[in-house]
Amino acid sequence: MTGPKKETSTAKKKVSRSVLLGAAFLMATSSIGPGFLTQTTVFTQQLAASFAFVILISLILDVFAQINVWRIIAVSGLRGQEIANKVLPGLGVVLAIIIVIGGLAFNIGNIAGAGLGLNAMLGVEPITGAIVSAAFAIFIFVFKEAGKAMDKAAQIAGFVMIILMLYVAFSTSPPVGEAIANTFVPEEISIFAIVTLVGGTVGGYITFAGGHRLLDAGIKGIDSLPHVTKSSVTGIAVTGVMRIALFLAVLGVVSQGLAIDPDNPPASVFQLAAGDIGYRMFGVIMWAAAITSVVGAAYTSVSFIRSFSPAIEKYYNWIIILFILVSTITFALVGQPVKVLLLVGALNALILPIALGTLLVAAYKKEIVGEYKHPLWLTVAGGFVVIVMGYLGIMTLIEQIPLLFK
């Protein structure tokens, strides 16, 4: 009798380890999209070695936000929208609508990025590349075990991106000493850059990607919290490694006095660092970053409406496929709707403070979390992120809305 029990518990450990790693990489690769590559390159150009300080502060804020969100989701056994509806009836519906619209709009950009990635990698037309990429993403959700396929795709893509990015970082011989010094004593500080990085890493649907994935895999309850916390920090660590590697690659190019092409900054960095091979490598990274963001955005956006109807629950994978199709068809026929992206980007900045604030309230409601006691330091740290990101989110909205009417 002992043998089979041991085997079962080992199998369970393997499954949960695979899911925990998959959830971490799903979150990380969802945040590493085309925008991530461009933002990191542009900010490094502007701030040089001082961007190291921005990365450090944004990673600390990311960890505070993500640990709070994942722990409260796990301990309650509820998805983000369900928790929000219990805190304030109707709030979960509003949150779900904003996230689904945002996910659709951002996925148009992700599909476009995948097309550009295949163009750089293999020379195919960007629209053809976008359609081929969408077919690949859809293929993942055709499987009955779509969750496992998604976990595996995210992990492979994540490792490939990290290896290639580290190679380029080393090949540009960046001034590492200067970067380390500026990490703690920067010559210049950009609040805008910090907010942009936090919003891009854990803003919108992204911070819920891994939390909802763990829930779907049955990892929940107080006993699961050490694993959930570790997985949430792993996700931020993967993002951090990618961000630091790209920062060092760009810093190496900038410190050599080489001119970066403003039309496509990240591609230019790779080309300057490693010639034509570097450009192809950029194509691989861009495609991997974009395709995993397509998968992450579709999966998480639809998870926000999953509990609203038994029909959505029943045809869950097919609705995710429809979500990807709508994004792809819109891009192929219309291109990227600039004004929609502007508005969604501004609304996206408000999702993190609203969602995190709501979850922090939920952490103190017995009918949601039972006997669980949320650590005070996490509440204070999470509350700080809510205030900072809430204020800056409102400022972003005020700035962006007038642009819609120009």
Closest CA to 23 of 184, 234, 164, 167: 234
Cα 125 from Cα 257, distance rounded (Å): 32
Structure tokens at 75: 């301990």
- Residue 339 is predicted with a pLDDT of 67
Residues 281, 168 contacting (CB under 8 angstroms): yes
Structure tokens at 371: 């006997």
CA torsion sign for 263, 269, 273, 276 is negative
- Residue 393 is predicted with a pLDDT of 79
| Cβ neighbours for 6, distance < 8 A, ≥ 6 positions apart | none
SS (H, E, C) the chain: CHHHHHHHHHHHHHHHHHHHHHHHHHHHHHHCCHHHHHHHHHHHHHHHHHHHHHHHHHHHHHHHHHHHHHHHHHHHCCCHHHHHHHHCCCHHHHHHHHHHHHHHHHHHHHHHHHHHHHHHHHCCCHHHHHHHHHHHHHHHHHCCCHHHHHHHHHHHHHHHHHHHHHHHHHHCCCCHHHHHHHHHCCCCCCHHHHHHHHHHHHCCCHHHHHHHHHHHCCCCCHHHHHHHHHHHHHHHHHHHHHHHHHHHHHHHHHHCCCCCCCCCHHHHHHHHHHHHHHHHHHHHHHHHHHHHHHHHHHHHHHHCCHHHCHHHHHCHHHHHHHHHHHHHHHHHHHCCCHHHHHHHHHHHHHHHHHHHHHHHHHCCCHHHHCCCCCCHHHHHHHHHHHHHHHHHHHHHHHHHHHHHCC
- Residue 7 is predicted with a pLDDT of 41
For the chain, the first-to-last Cα distance in angstroms comes to 73
In tens digits, what is the pLDDT along the chain, a chain of 406 residues?
444 444 444 445 554 788 899 999 999 998 888 888 888 998 999 999 999 999 999 999 999 999 999 999 999 999 999 999 999 999 999 999 988 888 888 898 899 899 999 999 999 998 999 999 999 999 999 887 888 889 899 999 999 999 999 999 999 899 999 999 999 999 998 888 888 888 888 887 888 999 999 998 899 999 999 999 999 999 999 999 999 999 999 999 999 988 888 888 899 999 999 899 999 999 999 999 999 999 999 999 999 998 888 988 889 899 999 999 999 998 888 876 666 666 666 677 788 899 999 999 999 999 999 999 999 999 999 999 999 888 887 887 787 677 767 7
> What domains does the chain contain, in order, with CATH numbers?
17-404 (1.20.1740.10)
- Residue 338 is predicted with a pLDDT of 64
Cα 54 from Cα 59, distance rounded (Å): 9
Phi, psi of 90 (to 5 degrees): 100, -25
CA 89 to chain centre: 28
Cα 119 from Cα 158, distance rounded (Å): 20
- Residue 10 is predicted with a pLDDT of 46
